[in-house]
Amino acid sequence: MLGLVTARGGSQGIPQKNIRQVGGKPLIAWTALAARSARSLARTILSTDSPEIANVGRQYGLEVPFMRPAELAGPESAHVPVVVHALEWLDQHAAYRPEYLVLLQPTSPLRSSSDIDAAVALALARGAPAVVSVTAAASHPFLTYRVDSGGRLEAFVPSDIPYKRRQDLPRVVALNGAVYVVRCDVFLRQRSFLPEGTLAYEMPPERSLDVDSPWDLHLADLVLKEILTNRR
């Protein structure tokens, strides 16, 4: 089972986000440590274009067998070609063809090794093409609105429920970005992390923070410092 951590050097929202200090360690370190503790991962590699991120990754146990090409490291770069590049490089240069790949983004520092192992176990037990981590949606789609050009509210998802109490609405979840498990042959054929038959691995909100803004980074720092304090 191959773990893959993806971390490009550029970041528009938070400069050098992946190596910013969070809870006393670089952000990427928390993902590296979770991967290293996960029993299901035979190895975990890092795909990055940044020598600085590569050095930090190595310090925390990640393999860096290649540097990501610049054309796959821009602000508009999608994850699919980055993962395809990693799998093809390992196939061509190391004759390494894992059955499953586990994508781990550094922006989920609260995800645990147990989350990784549980998602992998679910995929293997059910023979699933993929498993992705989710959490309860913070905002129900039936309770969201768009604002038209005149400033008037319009339901984003129209429904015939007259009074929308949360407890009466169908339960919905959202991707939290923490764990993506996918069969490599399925991924290379469909170029998707969500092929038909994908299963959900649900995580609690307290482990589902996705660092995308300075405020998210601040929250992650506070939570991790509290966790470390409670362990003492």
Which tens digits make up the pLDDT trace of 115-170?
Answer: 999 999 999 999 999 999 999 988 888 788 899 888 988 888 887 776 567 777 77
Q: Residue 155's domain spans which residues?
A: 138-171
Which tens digits make up the pLDDT trace of 27-50?
Answer: 999 999 999 999 999 999 999 999
Which tens digits make up the pLDDT trace of 67-95?
Answer: 999 899 887 778 999 999 999 999 999 99
**Same domain, residue pair 187 and 161:** no
Q: Within a 13 Å sphere around the CA of 103, how many CA atoms are in the beta-carbon half?
A: 27
CATH assignment at residue 110: 3.90.550.10
Residue ending a domain, choose from 171, 186, 216: 171
**Same domain, residue pair 201 and 162:** no
pLDDT of residue 222: 95
Number of domains the chain contains: 2
**Same domain, residue pair 217 and 145:** no
Cα 185 to Cα 49: distance, rounded to the nearest angstrom: 25
**Same domain, residue pair 25 and 117:** yes
**Same domain, residue pair 199 and 110:** yes
Q: How far is CA 134 from CA 9, 137, 169, in A?
A: 27, 9, 18
pLDDT of residue 159: 77
User: How many residues would you count in the chain?
Assistant: 232
207-211 mean pLDDT: 95
Which tens digits make up the pLDDT trace of 48-74?
Answer: 999 999 999 999 999 999 999 989 988
**Same domain, residue pair 189 and 202:** yes
